[in-house]
Amino acid sequence: MANATAEIGDGIQIGKTKIRNNLFCAPLAGYTDFAFRRLCYSFGAGLCFTEMVSAKGLRFNNAATRALLYKAADEPQTAAQIFGNDPAVMRAACESEDLKDFEIVDINMGCPVPKVYKNGEGSALLGDMPLAEKIIAACKKSGKAVTVKFRIGLEKGKIVAAEFAKMCAGAGADMITVHGRTRDMYYAGEPDFGAIAAAKRAVDIPVIANGGIFTREDAQKMLRETGADGVMIARAAMYDPHVFAEISGEGTEWDRRAAIEAQIADMLPFYGEKFTVVQMRKMAAFYIRGMRGCAQWRSRLFACDTLAALRETLCEIFSGAEQ
What average pLDDT score do residues 183-191 get? 93
- Strands 12-14, 17-19: pairing is antiparallel
Q: How many Cα atoms occupy the beta-carbon half-sphere of 319 within 13 Å?
A: 6
Q: pLDDT at position 250, please?
A: 83
Q: pLDDT at position 321, please?
A: 56
Q: pLDDT at position 120, please?
A: 97
What average pLDDT score do residues 218-242 get? 96
pLDDT digits over 55-71, tens only?
Answer: 999 999 899 999 999 99
Q: Tell me the percentage of the chain whose pLDDT exceeds 90.
A: 90
**Domain boundaries, given as residue ranges, for the chain:** 12-248, 271-322
Q: What phi-psi label fits residue 104: left (phi over 0), alpha (psi between -120 and 50 degrees) or beta?
A: beta
What average pLDDT score do residues 278-296 get? 93
Q: pLDDT at position 2, please?
A: 43
CA distance 109 to 308: 41
Q: pLDDT at position 237, please?
A: 96
Q: pLDDT at position 4, please?
A: 53
Neighbours of 38 (CB within 10 A): 20
pLDDT band at 269 (very low <50, low <70, confident <90, very high): very high
Integer angstrom CA distances of residue 38 from 49, 185, 247: 11, 31, 18
Residue from 40, 48, 94, 111 carrying the catalytic annotation: 111
Residue 312's contacts (CB-CB under 8 Å, 6 or more residues apart) are none
Integer angstrom CA distances of residue 131 from 115, 179, 183, 231, 255: 19, 20, 18, 27, 47
SS3 content of the chain, % helix, strand, coil (to 5): 50, 15, 35
What average pLDDT score do residues 107-116 get? 97
CATH C-level class of 12-248: alpha beta
What average pLDDT score do residues 80-93 get? 98
Q: Considering only CA atoms, which of 164, 158, 89, 159 is closest in space to residue 132?
A: 164
Q: Are 197 and 204 in contact (CB under 8 A)?
A: no
Task: Specify which residues 107 forms β-bridges with.
Answer: 82, 148
Q: pLDDT at position 251, please?
A: 72
pLDDT band at 230 (very low <50, low <70, confident <90, very high): very high
Integer angstrom CA distances of residue 236 from 53, 89, 144, 160: 22, 33, 29, 26
CA distance 60 to 56: 6
Q: What is the mean pLDDT of the chain?
A: 94
Q: Are 248 and 9 in contact (CB under 8 A)?
A: yes
Q: Considering only CA atoms, which of 137, 78, 68, 131 is closest in space to residue 104?
A: 78
CA distance 281 to 304: 8
Q: pLDDT at position 1, please?
A: 39
The burial of 121, by beta-carbon neighbours within 10 Å (0-12 exposed, 13-18 middle, 19 or more buried), is given as buried
Q: pLDDT at position 320, please?
A: 67
Q: In terms of pLDDT, which residue wins out, 321 or 176? A: 176
Q: Tell me the percentage of the chain whose pLDDT exceeds 70.
A: 97
CA distance 107 to 55: 10
DSSP for 40-83, written as a single string: HHHTT-SEEEEEEEEHHHHHTT-HHHHHTT---TT---EEEEEE
Task: Specify which residues 178 forms β-bridges with.
Answer: 150, 209
Residue 315 is a catalytic residue: no
CA distance 156 to 237: 27
Q: In terms of pLDDT, which residue wins out, 252 or 194? A: 194
What average pLDDT score do residues 161-168 get? 98
What average pLDDT score do residues 95-120 get? 97
Whether 323 has a pLDDT exceeding 50, the answer reads no
Neighbours of 298 (CB within 10 A): 18
